[in-house]
Amino acid sequence: MPELATATLPQMPACAHRPRPYDGPSREEVLAQRRAHYNPAVFTYYREPLMIVEGHMQYLFDDTGRRYLDLIAGIATVSCGHCHPKITARVTEQIARLQHATTLYLHPTLPRYAEKLLDKLPDDLDTVYFVNSGSEANDLAITMARLYTGRRDVIAVRNAYHGGVATALGLTSHHTWKYPIPHGEGVHHAVCPDPYRSPFDGTPEQIAEKSAEDLADLVRFTTSGRIAAYIAEPIQGVGGTTYGAPGYLERAYQVAREHGGLCISDEVQTGFGRTGDHYWGFERSGVVPDMVTMAKGIGGGFPLAAVVTRREIAEPLAQRIHFNTYAGNPVSMAAGLAALEVIDEDGLQENARAVGGHLKAGLERLAAKHTLIGVVRGMGLMLGVELVRDRLTKEPANTETIEVMEAARGLGLLLGKGGLYGNVLRIKPPLCISREDADFAIEVLDLALSEVSGQVPPSA
Ligand SMILES: Cc1ncc(COP(=O)(O)O)c(C=O)c1O
């Protein structure tokens, strides 16, 4: 990015937090050690990987003490803000008292937290099983659905991401994540209802209807006609913040139930107030799932996930021994309970609605100015900006997306990336960001998009 006079650069809102001086190994040493010993599949963002050593609410600090506005929150995870004082205090207290004993013994936080979590869900979703990650939650949900129905076939949605363990990888629908090894036994993928890259023509509502019809065809043509489950993210996260018009999920649930399937809502990204208008993504469609899987925002940054369902659906799991070592770990339970309280006490869902709306309006203003933006999607603080080289052909602007991220990082803004083609800027910050932070982000993006568009060849 060319040198710009400091005065013209966007100024990040002030922050009183001062990071502790970093005195650990250098970034270069850490990078070399990681490259030498860590699995090469684990990648970093940025040409010069960033080393983050401290966090404070919506801000992160690198090893030099430089502050960044975090618009990706550990991938939609640190919803309450980095090192939120209440979560930190509760976890610290628990760590000093008891770190692990397993569910073979009673501990008071597990049932207390379970009760409070279930209060956030429709009444008949009355049974929870805590696990450690979103992948595990989806794996367990599919196991329970198959046991309950006695059936094998599961319908997922194209462009979905449900995790990386074998069952979840089978549900995931991106060739970029799927290894050429066996997975996804009995899984079939229905058309993604998002209108931007839909194989169908028409209004978003017509596309939603045709996508639901495709789902019915899929069941009729590829299964026995009776299925175990239909699983969908109300808004696809890794897929680039994609979703169907109102009406899609209602119809999809109807089709799944007509064919005997349980409906699973993967709320790993959309849960816990992130979408602003609702606490859960499924509420936007007025549907009630049979199972809800959750992770990320549930734990305020700690490894925690859960599957919630009705007792009758959970019961068949008890026909054999089922055990998960870290499930219900007291430190995770303390973190989850604290995060649940913080989301309400700090008004984070409402902040996601208000600041998210403000941010989306700013992004739409940028779309009116920068042809590199194909579409702005999302709600609350789950937003996506799809970059294309040509608005008619929708050729994905994937290298430009990387350049925008690099330029934004140079200006103090951290973004995420997603979509099948890697051409969607993903914005999923801690839910505590302010309007001023949002304004700063828009200024940075404006500058970054201007710089990057200047680099695009005229034909593009
Ligand atoms: C919607 C969704 N489901 C499941 C997962 C898997 O979660 P985890 O990485 O905790 O296994 C993710 C992770 O990004 C996700 O976005």
For residue 272, pLDDT beyond 50: yes
162 Cβ below 6 A of ligand 1 = yes
The pLDDT assigned to 160 comes to 98
Collapsing DSSP to helix, strand or coil, 390 comes out as coil
| DSSP state letter for 242 | B
> pLDDT of 333-358, one tens digit each?
999 999 999 999 999 999 999 999 99
Whether 228 and 269 map to the same domain: the answer is yes
Ligand 1 atom closest to residue 136's alpha carbon, by position in its atom list:
11
* Gap from CA of 4 to ligand 1 centroid (Å): 39
CA-to-CA distance for 128 and 291, rounded, in angstroms? 10
Whether 115 and 49 map to the same domain: the answer is no
Residue where a domain terminates, one of 345, 371, 400: 345
Q: Is residue 139 part of a domain?
A: yes
Whether 150 and 291 map to the same domain: the answer is yes
Collapsing DSSP to helix, strand or coil, 26 comes out as coil
233 Cβ below 6 A of ligand 1 = yes
22 neighbors 63 (Cβ within 8 angstroms): yes
* Gap from CA of 460 to ligand 1 centroid (Å): 34
Q: Is residue 233 part of a domain?
A: yes
Residue with tokens 């040509």: 390
Residue 98 CA, distance from chain mean position: 30
For residue 319, pLDDT beyond 90: yes
* Gap from CA of 170 to ligand 1 centroid (Å): 13
The pLDDT assigned to 304 comes to 98
For residue 3, pLDDT beyond 90: no
Q: Is residue 209 part of a domain?
A: yes
CATH of the domain at 320: 3.40.640.10
User: What is the mean pLDDT of the segment spanning 73-99?
Assistant: 98
Q: HSE, CB side, 13 Å, CA atoms: give it for residue 131.
A: 21
Whether 305 and 354 map to the same domain: the answer is no
Q: Is residue 25 part of a domain?
A: yes
CA-to-CA distance for 106 and 125, rounded, in angstroms? 23
The pLDDT assigned to 8 comes to 82
Pick 454 or 310 by higher pLDDT.
Answer: 310
Whether 358 and 388 map to the same domain: the answer is yes
For residue 458, pLDDT beyond 60: no
pLDDT bucket at 17, cuts 50 / 70 / 90: very high
**Which helix H or strand E contains 189, and what residues bound it?**
strand 187-190
With 0-12 / 13-18 / 19 or more C-beta atoms within 10 angstroms meaning exposed / middle / buried, residue 436 is middle
Our count of domains for the chain comes to: 2
Residue where a domain terminates, one of 323, 345, 367: 345
Residue type, 384: G
> pLDDT of 209-255, one tens digit each?
999 999 999 999 999 999 999 999 999 999 999 999 999 999 999 99
| Closest Cα to atom 3 of ligand 1 | 162
Whether 307 and 385 map to the same domain: the answer is no
268 Cβ below 6 A of ligand 1 = yes
Give the domain extent around 274. Answer: 85-345
385 neighbors 373 (Cβ within 8 angstroms): yes
pLDDT bucket at 454, cuts 50 / 70 / 90: confident
CATH of the domain at 17: 3.90.1150.10
User: What is the mean pLDDT of the segment spanning 370-396?
Assistant: 98
The pLDDT assigned to 7 comes to 55
| Closest C-alpha to 129, from 282, 281, 256, 318 | 318
The pLDDT assigned to 412 comes to 98
For residue 457, pLDDT beyond 70: no
Residue 62 CA, distance from chain mean position: 24
Q: Is residue 1 part of a domain?
A: no
Whether 372 and 270 map to the same domain: the answer is no
Share of the chain above pLDDT 90, in %: 96
CA-to-CA distance for 126 and 319, rounded, in angstroms? 19
Whether 177 and 254 map to the same domain: the answer is yes
The pLDDT assigned to 211 comes to 98
* Gap from CA of 454 to ligand 1 centroid (Å): 35
With 0-12 / 13-18 / 19 or more C-beta atoms within 10 angstroms meaning exposed / middle / buried, residue 316 is middle
Residue where a domain terminates, one of 345, 364, 399: 345
The pLDDT assigned to 6 comes to 57
240 Cβ below 6 A of ligand 1 = no
Whether 302 and 340 map to the same domain: the answer is yes
Rounded to the nearest 10 degrees, what angle do helices 85-97 and 330-345 cross at? 160
Collapsing DSSP to helix, strand or coil, 416 comes out as strand
Q: Is residue 80 part of a domain?
A: no
For residue 271, pLDDT beyond 80: yes
For residue 456, pLDDT beyond 50: no
Whether 229 and 374 map to the same domain: the answer is no
Q: Is residue 205 part of a domain?
A: yes
Mark out the alpha helices in 320-396 (DSSP H runs).
Answer: 330-345, 348-369
Whether 124 and 272 map to the same domain: the answer is yes
Give the chain's mean pLDDT.
Answer: 96
Whether 329 and 359 map to the same domain: the answer is no
> pLDDT of 127-172, one tens digit each?
999 999 999 999 999 999 999 999 999 999 999 999 999 999 999 9
266 Cβ below 6 A of ligand 1 = yes
